[in-house]
Amino acid sequence: MCFYPCCVLCYTPYKFSLMEVICLEDAALYTMIEQVVERLSHAHDDKKDNWISDEEAMHLLNIKSHTTLQKLRDEGKIRFSQPQKRVILYDRNSIHDYLDKNAHNTF
């Protein structure tokens, strides 16, 4: 049951404005929130590039040394691409696979 009239007079400093109030049932509100979250998560996933910079790769791996990153690359543990002489990009999925492969289950 809604306790608000359809239109409410809203006071802001220096002026009055008319504000419309929309009342929803709990179930409808939660359904709408879930739909918004789902749309935002799909939009966010689409924007992620598969190829990432060395800084992003180091952040995902939680390492601070470029030498460690190079070692992982040289040992073939993570995939990389070198489109230019000084540009090296890393495969996000291979980094996640490497982390999953080295994960240990708890007792």
Q: Residue 28: pLDDT above 50?
A: yes
Q: Hey, where are the domains in the chain?
A: 51-101
Half-sphere exposure of 76 (CA within 13 A, CB side): 0
Per-residue pLDDT at 83: 92
Which amino acid is located at 25 in the chain?
E
pTM of the model: 0.56
Q: What is the pLDDT of residues 4-21, one digit of tens each?
A: 455 555 555 666 667 777
Under a CB-based contact definition with an 8 Å cutoff, are residues 61 and 102 in contact? no
CB environment 49-75: b (16+ within 10 A), e (fewer): eebbebeebbebbeeeeeeebeebbee
CB 78 within 8 A of CB 95: yes
